[in-house]
Amino acid sequence: MYFILFIGISIISWLVQHNLTNKFRKYSHVPIGSSMRGRDIAAQMLRDNGINNVSISSTPGQLTDHFNPANMTVNLSDVVYGSDSVAAAAVAAHECGHAVQHHTGYSMLVLRSKLVPVVSFASKWVSWVLLAGIFAVESFPQLLMAGIALFALTTLFSLVTLPVEIDASRRAIKWLNTAGVTDSYTHAMAQDALRAAAYTYVVAAISSLATLSYYVMILMRRRD
C-alpha cells in the first residue's frame, strides 16, 4: 500500500513540476506591459517597503532565484533579471516578498532560519542512519528511532517552508497590483504562475509526511 502511495505521490510531483515548467515557459513570453525588467521590479518593491540594505544580483541557471539573508541579496536567474515578462515580474516580486518577510520579522521565516543549521546536519546523516536502522531494527531499534527523529526534522522544515512560500507569493501579488505593475490581464497570469509554484511545496510536504509515516510503520511493526 505504501509503494502505491509513493508511486502516486511521485506521479503527482512530476505533474506539478511539469505544470510549473509549462506555466513559466508560457508566461515568459508575455510582456508585463511596461519597460520594467525583473531587476527593476525587485528594486521598486524593495524601495516601496522601505528596504535599502538588500542588493539585487543575477545568478546563473533557471528557477535558481532566491533571497539570501546571510548577505542580504535578492538573487534572480538570468532569465528573470533582464526580462520584462509576467513570469519574471512574478518571480522577482516573490523573492522580494522573502526580503520583506525578513525585514518585518515574519515569524515562520524566523523559525525556518533557525532550523537551517539543524536540518543541514540532519540531511547529511539521515539516509545512512535510516538505512542502518532498518537493517538493525530487530536487534537495535533505537538506531531507527534516531533516523526517524532526524527525518522528522526535515519534514518539519518542509512544513514550515510551506507557509513561508505562500506568504511571500501573497505579498508579491498584492504589491504587483497596488504598485500598478500588473493590469487586470497580466495580474491573473502572475497569480497563476505563483500558484503553480506553491503546489510544488505542497507536494513536497505531503511526500515528506508520507515517507516519515512509512519509517514509523516499520518501527511499529517490529514492536508488534
CB atoms within 10 A of CB 24: 22
Contacts of 116 (CB under 8 A, 6+ apart): 157
Element (H, E) at 203: helix 184-223
CB 75 within 8 A of CB 67: yes
CB 17 within 8 A of CB 62: no
> Largest alpha-carbon pair distance within the chain?
67
CB 189 within 8 A of CB 176: no
Is residue 138 among the annotated active site residues?
no
Query: Could you tell me the CA-to-CA distances from 215 to 74, 133, 208 in Å, in that order?
Result: 37, 10, 11
DSSP three-state, residue 139: coil
CB 118 within 8 A of CB 151: no
Catalytic residue among 90, 95, 122, 126: 95
- Give the catalytic positions in this structure: 95
